[in-house]
Structure 1
Amino acid sequence: MPLSMVNPGQSVILKSIRWGSKLRKKLYDMGLTEGVKITVISDNINGAFIINVRGSRVVLGSSLTNQIIVDVI
């Protein structure tokens, strides 16, 4: 399921990123790698998500959260 479908407070495991190699590498450098646990802190009406990954908070836009595929824990 895409990360955009996850509710605040829910934790998931990153399965894959379906985006170009440049952006995928940037996300990998930020700690978003396959198998990492992600907790959604909040989402807003505009589709931006605040997530917790490896102890850091990251803000992702709606177009990106649609391309990040996760599994529910």
Structure 2
Amino acid sequence: MPLSMADLGEQFLIKKIAGNEEVRRFLENLGFVSGAQVTLVSKISGNVIVQIKESRVAVSREMAQKIIV
């Protein structure tokens, strides 16, 4: 399921990053790689804030749709 549909407060493992090469590289630089653990902290209008690798990162709805957990 896409990260944008995940429940608040739950931990997930990233299974896959969809999208073109530029999008995948951008998300990879933020720490979103297959096998990484993410926790959904907040969700506002589809945009999400996640805890990943000791950091909190805000991701737009479009980008969150490309992160499969």
- TM-score (normalised: structure 2): 0.93
Q: Which residue of 1 aligns with 2:2?
A: 2
Counting helix residues as a fraction of each chain, which structure ranks higher? 2
Aligned to 2:39: 39
In the other structure, the counterpart of 1:67 is 66
Q: Percent identity?
A: 32
**Any gaps of 5 or more consecutive residues in structure 1?**
none
Question: 2:11 is aligned with what amino acid?
Answer: S
Task: Please give the secondary structure, in 1, of the residue aligned with 2:15.
Answer: strand
CA RMSD of aligned residues (A): 0.8
Runs (4+) of structure 1 moved beyond 4 Å? none
Query: Equivalents in 1 of 2:24, 2:14: separation in Å?
Result: 13
Instruction: Give the TM-score, by structure 1 length.
Output: 0.88
Count of residues paired in the alignment? 69
Per-residue deviation, 1:57: 0.6
